Structure 1
Amino acid sequence: MVRQMVGFVSSLRTAAVAAAAVLALAGQSGSAQAASWIEKGIYLSGPNYDGDVPPCEAALGEITSRFESTQAQFWNTSVQILGYEKVRQVAFSPWAKGTVPRRFCTAVADISTGRKHVVNYYITEDGGMIGATWGVTYCVVGFDRSMAYSPACKMARP
């Protein structure tokens, strides 16, 4: 039992030394630049963003796919987004300097029910899976059944 405990403590010490070495390497950057893959991977990205956020149109495919999936899986409906019009940017990084860059957009979606609904969304730099790429957060007015962005998708706007 004592041998197992000593071995466990030894492996913890080895892991701590390895983590310290990775952190030391990640911190050695001479000039201000975008976060390295190491920094992004261990959530030390800090204010090192480069403002590389794609245009509003780039997120429409992702929104369409996720909307259809959410409607089918959680609400048991076959509602789909058929297309978009009036796609435009509302704001770009409207908050203090050094915050995560976000492009706020709005569009009007043609829904398979025959009606048109406003879609408010924002694209976040390094907001995708494990911060490896950009991410999108969206809300379709009239389809926020969980009321996560209430009232009327206002919380998905700047």
Structure 2
Amino acid sequence: MRDLISSLKRLGGASALAAAFAIIASAQTAQAANPLELNFWLSGPRYDGRVATCEKALSTISSQFQEKESTFWNSTLTITGYTRIHEIAFRPWQSDNIPRRYCTGKAMTSDGRLRTVNFSIIEDGGFAGFDQGVEWCVTGLDRNWAYNPRCRLAGP
């Protein structure tokens, strides 16, 4: 490449431009994809909207809450029960987005306080895209402020 550039400099301005154009023009043209390169056998995600009901996620939230509190915050706080669990939205955006069911309710914690819990159940949102995933937030206990203010970002 260095030899090409130095020889083009020796030729002069117009000659160098003509030589560069000749090199570019002699390059091979792009070929169309053959049938095996068209990706017609690759199927993308097929979101059917089969998302579990709000109540199915409560055991996951309880276990993940207890694990988070003990591991990261050195706390013995647990969720002891739920009340008023209901759906607030299902697929609130365009139909080609990943289906989510947004829910809210009240969670009783082991300190005796009733707190709001906001969560979403995500189709194919589990580990490596298998099974359903759950994202949740307990108001007042979002210590790393992931869903602040007051867990509103855990909703739709």
Aligned-residue offset at 1:25: 3.6
**What aligned pairs does 1:63-82 form with structure 2 within 5 A after superposition?**
63-82=61-80
Q: Describe the SS at the equivalent of 2:103.
A: strand
Q: 1:26 aligns with which of 42, 56, 69?
A: 42
**What aligned pairs does 1:3-152 form with structure 2 within 5 A after superposition?**
25-27=41-43, 44-45=44-45, 48-152=46-150
Distance in 2, matches of 1:131 and 1:53, equals: 14
Q: Identity over the aligned pairs, expressed in percent? A: 43
Higher Cα Rg, which structure: 2
Spell out, residue by residue over 1:64-115, the C-alpha distance to the aligned partner (whole angstroms, 9 max, x if none): 0000000000000000000000000000000112111000000100000010
Q: Describe the SS at the equivalent of 2:111.
A: coil
Distance in 2, matches of 1:98 and 1:155, equals: 21
TM-score by length of 2: 0.73
Distance in 1, matches of 2:71 and 2:62, equals: 14
Aligned-residue offset at 1:24: 5.5
Q: Describe the SS at the equivalent of 2:148.
A: coil
Corresponding letter in the other structure for 2:111: T
Distance in 2, matches of 1:132 and 1:77, equals: 31
Provide structure 2 residue ranges, at least 5 long, that are not aligned to the other structure: 1-35
Distance in 1, matches of 2:57 and 2:129, equals: 16
Q: What value does the CA root-mean-square deviation take over the aligned residues?
A: 1.4
Provide structure 1 residue ranges, at least 5 long, that are not aligned to the other structure: 1-19, 28-43
Corresponding letter in the other structure for 1:123: I
Q: Describe the SS at the equivalent of 1:155.
A: helix
Distance in 1, matches of 2:90 and 2:40, equals: 33
Runs of 4+ residues over 3 Å off in structure 1: none
